[in-house]
Amino acid sequence: MRLHRNLVLAVIDSLNYIFNDGLYADKVVEKTLKRDSRWGSRDRKFLAETVYDCVRWKRLYNEIAGTKEHYSQENLWKIFTVWATLRGIKLPDWKQFEGAPIRRIKGKFDECQKTRVLRESIPDWLDELGVKSLGNAWDNEIQQLNQQADVILRVNTLKTNLSQLQQQLHKDEIETELIKGYPDALRVTERKNLFRTEAFQQGFFEVQDASSQKVGPFLQVKPGMRVVDACAGAGGKSLHLAALMENKGLIISLDIYERKLKELKRRAKRNGAHNIETRTIDSTKVIKKLYGQADRVLIDAPCSGLGVLRRNPDAKWKLQPTFIEEITKVQAEILETYAKMIKPDGKLVYATCSILPQENEQQVEKFLKNHPEFSLEEELKISAYKSGFDGFYMARLIKKEHHS
């Protein structure tokens, strides 16, 4: 592999924005990719993957490069040198690479493998939390969460089916494969720009991780029901529910952010999903109006996002220990408030993309203790390590008709 100067400079610039200005990696990559229209798919892939790698392995590369978490231009080049050396890439004779300590880098890498916080490139507090919460399972989980995530598509069954979608993508030179046990999913075998395809513009698919695709069916919706997606965001799950309900019935998608719901409307239009109504939660009235109204409620709760680190590696560095305490309080409040929307005999799913018991089963246990009218029907814990996809949790509760 030959290094191209303009691409390497773009990587260095991106890292500067992320490490020194605190910008989010995905936004920086998105912006940088627009910088040069001549970059082909291989160039784009190099840029995105290199930036993500340097973010993911920030602590490890820092340790190897001896840059002491100080990200001057010179140090960013040192970090890039570590990245390239560990990948066996021959360094060109640019002045930035003069006297690069190739052998020392490899030796230091081997040494770092003995210490988990360095080997898995995570903050100390996160490692302590992982061990405390998950015990021996933490080692495998964090290792898996450092792998690069596959790109998974969900076919929009309102418009097409898996085999038709596969054929259409094949025409656009995008190869995909089926995933056993995931009826609506396709795995993209090589990274390409999917959003330019005819299939995407016509609303034939959405990008959605396989674990996240389990949530919709887990809610057990039927056409004609009244369903509330209580933390809808940009609506990936609302869209899935619309397809499962065959566009019949009503999905009320709620969120506190109006801009996210605007995006959902745009996506729904492209998907041909006509049974979604969006409502911004701008006062408690919005929620109270729905008390006792819903056959199904989905609470895709805000969480630490530890189950999706593969896709979002800078969360490792942005998360603060206090955030976990705060978010568990928020989750408990949301569950408490939104559960009131359920009709008797209705069902509620509480889901997170976290692997921590305090955000998952412990939340549900606390809720059930205070709410004898609900009982746990089924619970699904998806381990990133065992599934190879995102870490996820979901619990389905049923509200009893009469309880004494």
Known catalytic residues are 353
Is 280 in contact with 181 (CB distance < 8 Å)? no
Any idea which residue has 């592999």 for tokens? Answer: 1
Which token pair is 235? 């609506």
Beta strands 294-300; 226-229: pairing state: parallel
- Distance between CA 41 and CA 39 in Å, rounded? 7
Query: What's the chain's Rg over C-alpha atoms?
Result: 23
- Distance between CA 310 and CA 383 in Å, rounded? 13
Note the residue count of the chain. 404
Is 50 in contact with 81 (CB distance < 8 Å)? no
Q: Which residues contact 322 (CB under 8 A, 6 or more apart)?
A: none
Distances (CA, A) of 196 to 169, 190, 201, 206: 11, 15, 7, 13
Half-sphere exposure in the Cβ direction for 150 (13 Å, CA): 21
Any idea which residue has 């309102």 for tokens? Answer: 158
- Distance between CA 313 and CA 28 in Å, rounded? 13
